[in-house]
Chains A and B, each alone.
Chain A
Amino acid sequence: MSERSFNALVLLGLIAFPLWALWADEPFLITLATRAVILAIAGVGLNIALGLGGLVSLGHAAFFGLGGYAMGILASHAQMYDPIMTAPILIEGTKSMPVIWLVAIVVSGLAALAIGALSLRTSGVYFIMITLAFGQMFYYFAISWPAYGGEDGLSIYVRNGFPGLNTLVPIQFYGLTFAILLIALALHWQIARSPFGLALNAARQSSVRAQTVGIAPFRLRLIAFTISGMITGLAGALFADLNRFVSPTMFSWQLSGEIIVFVIIGGVARLFGPVVGAIVFIMLEHVLGGLSDYWHIYLGALLLGIVLFARGGIIGLIAGRGGHG
């Protein structure tokens, strides 16, 4: 099967499954699908850094968590009718999703810019360790900052609103997240085909090659890392809205690892790799998690098998080589 028709099939499934769940009156399955779609968005974000740029970021939970806390902080102030600050200017909380999303994108983008500017001074294994460490920094900060719940996190009573929709209806919230996934995928597709993407991808394969034609990889990578962080941050805001809860676990290193894992399971650098990976991840969690409390053992074994023996991920197995371009 060609990669393109497989992708179409995946999209079709993401439309048909929740509609079927709606018809069958299984709201839990719609929520499960929403979870998969939101994780897929986070993965699409990572894939821009990892797949196109070759940047093995083990700290993307930082952006996911920042997006989550952007939602949590804005919404908790709004539900308490307590402005975030009064001087020098009045900033109120908000329950409006578009505003929350914008804040999540800006905040996680700024963090990605700062973390990227520091960690991209190095490469290879240093980069991995540094991104992991900065992710952990946010985790500890969230725990030790009591104003927003510290270790216990923050609960939001009512899901935030989107003009013209009732986001409390699962299928409507699903539609919203699905639309954002499509936008994120379109963005990845556009970046991959753009001159910027060509250069980024070439610098991943041979940094020397890029430099020899006058392109300094640092700037390209920093831009890619920042865009990547923004998308993952947006996913974090959606994830927090899905659960109506944020806590420091959104910053945890396990989450950073899991995002990488499902992007790889799906197929790194493939447009739909994160989507397929997220779906499979949620299915495994649901199915294996139902069979055994220790399902992470099986996930670990599966991952080990894929890394050692099937490097193209699921899309690689189905569509063969040739993920780029």
Chain B
Amino acid sequence: MSLILLAEQVLNGLQFGVMLFLMAAGLTLVFGVMGLINLAHGSLYMIGAFAAAAVAGATGSFLLALVAALAAAAAAGALVERFVIRRLYDRDHLDQVLATFALILIFSEGTRWVFGSFPLYLNIPAWLSGPVMLPGGIQYPMYRLALIGVGLAVALGLYLLINHTRLGVRIRAGAADREMIAALGVDISRLYTVVFALGAALAGLAGALVGAIQSVQVGMGEPVLILAFVVIVIGGIGSIKGALVGALLVGVTDTMGGLLLPPLFALFMEPSAAATAGSALASMGIYLLMAAVLVWRPLGLFGVRT
């Protein structure tokens, strides 16, 4: 195995990781501020991807497609918050799980009804396609590199938003003490809608960006949602920093496991058996990582008991 291949896979892991971060950041914000577990977050990812594919198909503009993804997911998020989610804040987690599971059913079948069962395709724009040459002679797809850039930029943006803006102050205060900030005259229900829409927009963005390298289809959101849950369990609920570290760990573990385990197994097994055993174990890699974190730190790497 060459170093170049290794470096390429590390980059793939990073790219996968930052996309997971976009999902996990919204989930963990919504949990941290509103105490809500939202299974329908994957639907917002799907909505972003479909909106992007539809707009790109109609206009041919990738940038317009991204704007559409952000807008559609944020709007869907705000609407859902206003009419359903808002009734769930004071309910137990079981009710939240059921209601948001119901939302998945409605969103998934609704999308299938509108767009049909066949996957849509979203093309990488010409100005982002093709490989770039990285230092050390690594050829890497420009688009994937751009995804890493966008993900890190969003992480930085979220950091600035939360630590250096008025909205950020309110979000942090809302996570710490709901009654208090309501007593201080902050319109808490508007804050919740804004936070939810923000999380939704991030999910929609991730859906659109990933949609260009995978197909856009119903059900695409839930596997990513579950991975985002793994990220949050590893990073600790409510922590954006935990989401970032967890997402990168999961992304890199997943790609490196697939790359390294089969040859590792080949050291003491016959090659074909090693390939199957290696790839099967690699498919469990991130869950084993999660299990290890649970044994070591049940509240996640950056989790605090609330």
Given contacts A299-B105, A307-B102, contact A122 B299 (CB under 8 A): yes
B222 within 8 Å of A (CB atoms): yes
Beyond A126-B237, A128-B97, A300-B102, is A133–B113 a contact (Cβ under 8 Å)? no
B229-272 interface with A by 8 A CB criterion:
229-230, 232-233, 237
Which residues of chain B have C-beta atoms less than 8 A from A303's C-beta? Answer: 98-99, 101-102, 105
Contact B99 A145 (CB under 8 A): no
A30 to B116, CA, bound (A): 33
A301 interface residue per 8 A CB criterion? yes
Could you say which of B87-95, B145-153, B206-214 contacts chain A? B87-95
A95 → chain B closest CB, angstroms: 27
Q: Say how far A65's CB is from chain B's closest CB, in angstroms.
A: 14
* Bound complex: CA A303 to CA B84 (Å): 12
Closest B residue, CB atoms, query A126: B233
Stretch from A12-20, A136-144, A154-162, A229-237 forming part of the interface with B: A136-144
Residue pair A118, B295 in contact (C-beta under 8 Å):
yes
CB of B76 closer than 8 Å to a CB of A: no
Smallest CB separation, B13 vs chain A (Å): 17
Check if B98 sits within 8 Å of A261, measured CB to CB. Answer: yes
Residue B37 CB within 8 A of the other chain: yes
Given known A125-B37, A144-B283, A294-B113, contact A132–B87 (CB-CB < 8 A): no
CA distance A162 to B56 in the complex (A): 59
Chain B residues with CB under 8 Å of A121's CB are 294-295, 298
Which residues 258-314 in A have Cβ within 8 Å of B in the complex?
260-261, 264, 268, 294-297, 299-301, 303-304, 306-308, 311
Contact B229 A260 (CB under 8 A): no
Contact, CB under 8 Å: B102 / A301: yes
User: How many Å lie between the Cα of A295 and that of B110 in the bound state?
Assistant: 10
Q: Write the B157-179 contact mask toward A (1 if CB under 8 angstroms, else 0).
A: 00000000000000000000000
B280 interface residue per 8 A CB criterion: yes
B291 on the interface (CB 8 Å rule)? Answer: yes
Nearest to B276 among chain A residues (CB) is A146
Complex contact B31–A125 (CB within 8 A): yes
Contact status of A141 and B299, CB under 8 A, knowing A122-B294, A130-B294: no
Consensus secondary structure, chain A interface: helix
Measured between beta carbons, the chain A residues less than 8 angstroms from B91 are: 307
Which residue in chain B gives the minimum CB-CB distance to A121? B298
For A141, the chain B residues whose CB sits under 8 A away are: 280, 283-284
Chain A positions 233 through 268: 1 when the CB is less than 8 Å from some CB of chain B, otherwise 0: 000000000000000000001100100110010001
Contact B106 A300 (CB under 8 A): yes
Closest to B287 in A: A137
B283 touches A128 (CB 8 A): no
For the side of the interface on B, what is the size category? 35 or more
A residues in contact with B237, CB < 8 Å = 125-126
Q: Indicate if the CB atoms of B233 and A133 lie closer than 8 Å.
A: yes
B290 beta carbon closer than 8 Å to chain A: yes
B279 to chain A, nearest CB (A): 5
A297-B110, A300-B106 known; A133+B226 contact, CB < 8 A: yes
**A296 shortest CB reach to chain B, Å:** 4
CB atoms of B299 and A304 under 8 A apart: no
Q: Are A257 and B101 in contact (CB under 8 A)?
A: yes
**B82 on interface, CB distance cutoff 8 Å:** no
User: Which residues of A are found within 8 Å of B94, using beta-carbon distances?
Assistant: 50, 56, 264, 268
Within the complex, the shortest CB–CB distance from A112 to chain B, in Å, comes to 15
Q: Judge whether B101 and A261 touch: CB under 8 Å.
A: yes
The reply to whether B229 and A132 contact each other, CB–CB distance below 8 Å, is yes
Question: For residues 269 through 306 of chain B, which have their beta carbon under 8 Å from a beta carbon of chain A?
Answer: 276, 279-280, 282-284, 287, 290-291, 294-295, 298-299
**How far, in Å, is A50 (CB) from chain B's closest CB?**
8
Say yes or no: A133 contacts B230, CB within 8 Å: yes
- Within the complex, what minimum Cβ distance (angstroms) separates B45 from chain A? 15
Q: Which of B109, B233, B276, B287 contacts A300 (CB 8 A)?
A: B109
Instruction: Please determine whether B112 and A294 come into contact, CB atoms closer than 8 angstroms.
Output: yes
Residue among B226, B276, B284, B294 making CB contact with A132, cutoff 8 Å: B226
Query: B46 → chain A, closest Cβ, in Å?
Result: 14
Q: Evaluate contact between A129 and B98: CB separation under 8 angstroms.
A: no
- Shortest CB–CB separation between residue B299 and chain A, in angstroms? 7
Q: A195 at the A/B interface (Cβ < 8 Å)?
A: no
Which of A50, A129, A136, A145 makes the CB contact (< 8 A) with B276? A145
Known: A121-B294, A141-B283. A297 touches B97 (CB 8 A): no
Write out the residue numbers on chain B whose beta carbons fall within 8 Å of the beta carbon of A31: none
Min CB distance, B84 to chain A, in Å?
A: 7
Could you tell me if B93 and A130 are in contact, using CB atoms closer than 8 angstroms?
no
Distance between Cα atoms of A253 and B230 in the complex (Å): 14
What is the CA–CA distance of A268 and B298 in the complex, to the nearest angstrom?
Answer: 28
Tell me if A164 is interfacial: C-beta within 8 Å of chain B.
no
* Contact partners of B108 in chain A: CB under 8 A: 296
Residue of B nearest to A147 (CB): B276
Q: Is the CB of A300 within 8 A of B284?
A: no
- Asked whether B104 is an interface residue with its Cβ less than 8 Å from the other chain, the reply is yes
Contact present for B230 and A304 (CB under 8 Å): no
Cross-chain contact B298 with A304 (CB below 8 angstroms): no
| A88 interfacial by beta-carbon distance below 8 Å | no
CB pair B93 A143 closer than 8 Å: no
Q: Is A163 close to B, CB under 8 A?
A: no
Q: Which A residues fall within an 8 A CB radius of B? A: 50, 56, 58, 118-119, 121-122, 124-126, 128-130, 132-134, 136-137, 140-141, 143-147, 253-254, 257, 260-261, 264, 268, 294-297, 299-301, 303-304, 306-308, 311
27 interchain pairs, CB-CB under 8 A: A56-B94, A118-B291, A119-B294, A121-B294, A122-B298, A128-B97, A129-B37, A130-B229, A133-B226, A144-B283, A145-B280, A147-B276, A254-B222, A257-B104, A264-B94, A268-B94, A294-B110, A295-B109, A299-B105, A300-B106, A301-B106, A303-B101, A307-B91, A307-B98, A307-B99, A307-B102, A311-B95
